[in-house]
Structure 1
């Protein structure tokens, strides 16, 4: 597989050429598509008619077929397939070079019928051309190889700054109130209760936070930029070019039947990062989640973020139609928004790393009697300082312990010597951890344990 950049470079090189991939019937639409597809993926396209490409080929594992919808945004490098209303019933196929929601540009063969004329190759070269969308229509996207970084010199990388620039966006706006339920609407509730509080906590952690104007609607602004072909001055484009944030977080409230409950994070095809996972965990620990982190390709801002390489996610905070969700958020507004901010921050605001620390010590008591010589240490770790060998626990000797700790692949007990000569606590391992569920009472000890 080629990277997307390699694929687009090759695609652009085809413009103006006579492309006859199969050396048959001149310069057919199939030829440009097949030349590009074989170069990019190593696979050929099969089928008698272009319209059947989505069904006559097995794209499993290396490409994805998308049905066109009014909100679908093609990406450069996508194959586009027309239905049988075109090409005298055969359909048509081309390769996308750029797109907005109203039209898209391609490089293609034989749109004007000049690829095969009077029984011989014709006059029509591979041409760059704009088209409008049709229904049904299909787009096929390769699973490109990942780009490798260019290493110009061997230098020690600079540590990434811990403080970041965030842009917070309240969903909907202008004359669009979004979803409604439980006495409020999505647009107004998020502007009044959510983004200022999340911003407050992020700023307290030292981050720079900008709020997208509450008087505007980033979705409508971005769509306006799409339709004008302006990729700098409107909506998410403007956010990228003017604010240059490390991440963009857009907040919404979901809508469904009254029984639906819980939030989730929506993102583009880029892998979920620490921010996505942090917000998802915060939702799970508060209002709950209805599903995991979800990849979507039918949302405008999600598609723009993918195409423009913007670190963006859309957060559904819960269901505005759920009394349970809305009561929780309203009652726990400060702790809820602080949890969301902590998820973005990567650790609790003003605290230790986000998430609950894994428990490794339990206050279980008992008496351990050794059946072999066991080393004693000052801490429950294989790196802990060992006491003199004369003070190790010998075969037949016992100690009363007050807790157990799981560390370094061993179970450790905490004890004081029974003779009272030293009033400090010491530690020794009583067995290796071999049980797949790490249950100490299922292990084979280096002696006997009588639990108290």
Structure 2
């Protein structure tokens, strides 16, 4: 039997730390669900990865690799998934390719998992090789499907290994926020939100930034939902001291570097 370099607890922490980040394991078609499955598997078993095209067939396509590294379970009315299990959704999901995710927690009625590309946002811009999308690893709850398959890795004992520490640190190191400062001059009408991201509530249209005379001093930038966002306070007299956010650009640079973005919604004079 081959044992993973992480304990179950360490791997669940790895999963939690991965939420909000993007993983393109093979370098093709952005951050697909299979990429996230492979990133997790490679963190557990460094130097090894899963092979195949369809997520629903991972267990059969990799039967030899998994034979000594995991146990495979079919879903039954009494089956209870465990944290750290890989769950394979049948071919009725994902346009016939199925879907794959990692389990965070479960009851007999539902599983809470971390996954990529559930909403087909894994690859939405850029070339086939090196492109990306807006959808990161996301925590989501699903009902069991009768045809689900679960793969339970052979987790290590409680001894913390140097390899496990390094793998966990690598996930934690992925940065999404920078305290960069600069003055933003929009060149078009830009919505203003109360929080960074497409789900942040939008303020009234009269308070949006226009491309004629408005500018704001950015105090922080953040990557959320496939966009660069800037944090600012309104410079107008008597305005609130609360922070607001606006989109600075859609992320299109292959390495997600704001200073290399060519489709900015204005210009930033960095300080």
TM-score range, shorter chain: 0.5 to 0.7
Q: 1:143 aligns with which of 139, 154, 160?
A: 154
| Distance (Å, rounded) in 1 between the aligned partners of 2:69 and 2:91 | 26
Specify the SS of the correspondent of 1:22: coil
Q: 2:20 aligns with which of 16, 20, 25?
A: 16
| Distance (Å, rounded) in 2 between the aligned partners of 1:10 and 1:47 | 24
1:36 aligned onto 2:40? yes
Specify the SS of the correspondent of 1:97: strand
* Correspondence for 1:314: none
* Correspondence for 1:45: 50
Higher share of residues assigned helix: 1
Specify the SS of the correspondent of 2:28: coil
- Which sections of structure 2, spanning at least 5 residues, go unmatched? 161-271
Q: 1:54 aligns with which of 44, 55, 59?
A: 59
* Correspondence for 1:5: 9
| Distance (Å, rounded) in 1 between the aligned partners of 2:152 and 2:50 | 13
Q: 1:128 aligns with which of 129, 136, 139?
A: 139
| Distance (Å, rounded) in 2 between the aligned partners of 1:13 and 1:37 | 15
Deviations 1:201-231 (A, max 9, x none): xxxxxxxxxxxxxxxxxxxxxxxxxxxxxxx
| Distance (Å, rounded) in 2 between the aligned partners of 1:61 and 1:31 | 22
* Correspondence for 1:70: 77
Runs (4+) of structure 1 moved beyond 3 Å? none
Note the C-alpha offset of 1:148: 2.9
* Correspondence for 1:422: none
Specify the SS of the correspondent of 1:121: coil
Deviations 1:138-161 (A, max 9, x none): 000001111139xxxxxxxxxxxx
| Distance (Å, rounded) in 2 between the aligned partners of 1:54 and 1:61 | 13
1:89 aligned onto 2:96? yes
TM-score, scaled relative to structure 2: 0.53
Specify the SS of the correspondent of 1:39: helix
Note the C-alpha offset of 1:36: 0.8
Deviations 1:77-120 (A, max 9, x none): 00000111000000000000000011010000000000012554
Instruction: Give 1:265-284 correspondences, 5 Å limit.
Output: none
Instruction: Give 1:303-314 correspondences, 5 Å limit.
Output: none
The one of the two structures with greater contact order (alpha-carbon pairs below 8 A, sep at least 6) is 2
| Distance (Å, rounded) in 2 between the aligned partners of 1:61 and 1:52 | 18
| Distance (Å, rounded) in 2 between the aligned partners of 1:37 and 1:11 | 11
Specify the SS of the correspondent of 1:95: strand
Note the C-alpha offset of 1:10: 1.2
Note the C-alpha offset of 1:54: 0.8
Q: Is the 8 A contact 1:32 1:109 kept in 2?
A: yes
* Correspondence for 2:107: 100
| Distance (Å, rounded) in 2 between the aligned partners of 1:121 and 1:139 | 28
TM-score, scaled relative to structure 1: 0.32
Specify the SS of the correspondent of 1:141: strand
| Distance (Å, rounded) in 2 between the aligned partners of 1:121 and 1:38 | 21
Task: Report the aligned-residue RMSD.
Answer: 1.3
Q: How many residues align?
A: 149
Specify the SS of the correspondent of 2:121: coil
| Distance (Å, rounded) in 2 between the aligned partners of 1:31 and 1:107 | 12
